[in-house]
A and B are shown apart, each in its own frame.
Chain A
Amino acid sequence: MRPYGDTLDDGATQLSFTLPVEWSEAADEAARQLVARMGFNDVSVVEGRRIATGFSYFVVYARTPVAVDVDAIRAPSVKTAAMSMDQIDAFVRERIGRKVRVAGACIGTDAHTVGIDAILNMKGYQGDYGLERYKEFETFNLGSQISVEELVRFTRERDIDALLASQVVTQKGSDVTNFTALVELLEAEGLRDRIILICGGPRVTNLLAAELGYDAGFGRGTLPSEVASFVAHRMAERLPA
């Protein structure tokens, strides 16, 4: 499979980027050659202009010759069969028989609670109520800038079933560093296997979560009920038959 412009397999791709060079005809040509070296064909620099002293901006159209086999790709989704809040509460009452204890926080120095709040706060997101509203979930939203140590201590002291770690800031890989630190500390403290560990954030994918040793990862646009449903099902699976 290749990108589709107006004809199957034409490989049409748009690119835009800045080069640290004063604009000139030579700068346009530099942009064209750069894209050609990336492996693109039929490179066309449709816009090139100066945006500041020593910087130029380019818009480029080109065709890529490379292709991928989509059937060979595995990217498992964690979004289980959709259930409503009431259905999830009923499921927990019936299958688990006690309240599920959930804690969430923005870890490290990240102060952006928009993601964790969307999932946990009563109000929820896009009309889908947050976990605080669920009758069968006992929810703790620890807020922003919670250290990994603090979160692990809280997990042990409050006997948490499911832990949600959120990271919005991703500069210089700080999100992955923090997620890794959390999972390592949980393992060192012998807590990892006792809990359902979930990470979330606009750049998180379930594939990344699996690589980091999390049970699931939820990215942009996730609804609270999707997280609640995953937690409930995973809890039920873990119970002795």
Chain B
Amino acid sequence: MEVRIEPGVVEKARSLAASIVLPISEFIAAHSTVSVERAVLRLLGVDGVANDEIPMPNAALDALTAEQRAGGVARWIARGIAETAETPATVAERLARGTLTAEELLDVPEAAARAALTPHVQAGLLRVAERRAERERLLTRLPQSPAPLLYVIVASGNIYEDRTAAVAAAESGAQVIAVIRSTGQSLLDFVPYGATTEGYGGTYATQENFRIMRAALDATSERLGRYVMLTNYASGLCMPEIATMAALERLDMLLNDSMYGILFRDINMKRTFIDQHFSRMLNAYAGIIINTGEDNYLTTADAVEQAPAVLASQFINEEFAHRAGLPDEQIGLGDAYEIDPKLEDGFLFSVAQAQLARQLFPKAPLKYMPPTKHMTGDIFKGHLIDAMFNLTSVMTKQNIHLCGMLTEAIHTPLLGDRALSLENARYIMNTARHLGDEVAWKPGGIVERRAQAVLADCVALLERVADLGLMNAIEAQTFADVSRAPDGGRGFEGVFARADDYWNPFEEALLPEGRTAAKAAAR
């Protein structure tokens, strides 16, 4: 049921996206952030909390001056190991507690420091690689049901209640479980520690919570004979750290958008661009599928009008992801079924957009989000709208399908709501499984014309963004009617220029060229 699109237009869109992202990449390469440095610490095995409940990665990094930090935190840990022969965790703890200071480490020769750290860097990378291999083995032994993968959220605030809900959802057919984060977490400049039982609108993302949920889903996967995936959110101020924790605890997907935090959480754009890059490099290595957040453009603004912006953002997200080394198979570009149900032929427009994404990103595991904006307290109508969303998803071969809840407008899902929602999706997707292979759109008809128009408008929009530059374009309200200034927003104080001798051994290993070199060296 392909719609006809001109290959030249698509190439143009991709080359515009490349020219939009290039200057940002140059900026990223010259900077780091506190969260990137804390991710480095976590990859080296630094965990736990200092006396006053401050996470150890924060406490250790805060022990450095801005000037010391500018060379990268790895160097100080490396020097500490060379000097004391302790583990990275112990060196970090001693820095945090002041029983070892950076001043005492100034004279450690660079070569000795690097040599001392290398085995720990390799050990960190190996831990991640092992979790990836483990996932690949499990997926072979416990194959998933065919796509669209049914994805549901749990969000009670209490990880143990979430666990009950997740297992129940998996039994009802869910193939991906997302633990929604507590509503304030995106703005915390640290990752909370330990198992948590109190959260609002969701449950804190902590490494222990990841572990609890992963263990429960692993047991469920064995019981059901199919692998159940786990998702969380590498977004907000701690993107790289969440990506690290997810890699270590074998999460399978992460929400990880290049612009979402800027537009919808007022997080500084420079911070976000740098953080998304490092977290995506890590996701690439860990085999984690990212989910981008284009659905958010549609929750406040009009879906018909915003369609070209959604597509433009998909092209930009794809380009950022490629630059971080993510292959197409790990780039879950987002979209949503948000067209006003009162609009005549709105379903046709939704199909056109979904089909367009399918054709433009043929290898991407597309993430399709359910209606939220036009859902009301009328749960019966809501259930019907969700059914049309399910039909669109199966006929256009979306891959990751976030099941809509009939109670979307009312509360975070109850256990029974999830069961009804999964049943709706299973029914529609089974009864219409091969519809997309059977129908052909009328040449020049409503669906094809709509798809072509969205693509043309997207190219025009990308041209404007390329002219302005991405940062200025965001300031000029190009995306989601929101304006953000390059130096405004939260977390800007955590951005810093790299010193000439900046060193991040994980980045070196994870860069696309670094990975090739590492593989070559291994052979």
Query: CB within 8 Å of B: which residues of A?
Result: 16-18, 51-53, 55, 57, 109-114, 117-118, 121-123, 143-145, 169-172, 174, 202, 220-221
Contact = CB atoms under 8 A, between A and B. Distances in A.
B416 A53 contact: no
B367 to A, nearest CB: 20
A109 B200 contact: yes
B182 A202 contact: no
A150 to B, nearest CB: 13
B171 A52 contact: yes
A119 to B, nearest CB: 12
Given A57-B416, A57-B419, 7 more contacts: A51-B172, A109-B183, A110-B201, A118-B300, A143-B266, A172-B200, A221-B376
Interface stretch (B26-34, B79-87, B269-277, B406-414): B406-414
Contacts of B414: 18
B416 A17 contact: yes
Contact of A110 (B183, B302, B411): B183
Contacts of A118: 300
B373 interface: yes
Interface residues of B, number: 33
Contact of B416 (A16, A143, A202): A16
15 contacts: A18-B415, A52-B169, A52-B172, A55-B415, A55-B419, A57-B416, A109-B200, A109-B201, A110-B183, A114-B300, A122-B481, A143-B266, A144-B265, A220-B376, A220-B377
B444 interface: no
Query: Secondary structure of the B side of the interface?
Result: loop
A221 B376 CA distance: 9
A171 B168 contact: no
Contact of B167 (A18, A53, A110, A122): A53
B184 interface: yes
Q: What secondary structure prevails in chain A residues at the interface with B? A: loop
B301 interface: yes
B313 interface: no
B171 A53 contact: yes
Contacts of A111: 183-184, 186, 264-265
B300 A117 contact: yes
Contacts of B168: 51-53, 55
Contact of B200 (A16, A51, A169): A169
Contact of B481 (A52, A53, A123, A174): A123
A78 to B, nearest CB: 19
Ordered nearest first, which 10 A-B pairs have the shortest CB separation? A109-B184, A52-B168, A18-B416, A51-B419, A169-B201, A52-B171, A109-B183, A117-B300, A174-B200, A57-B416
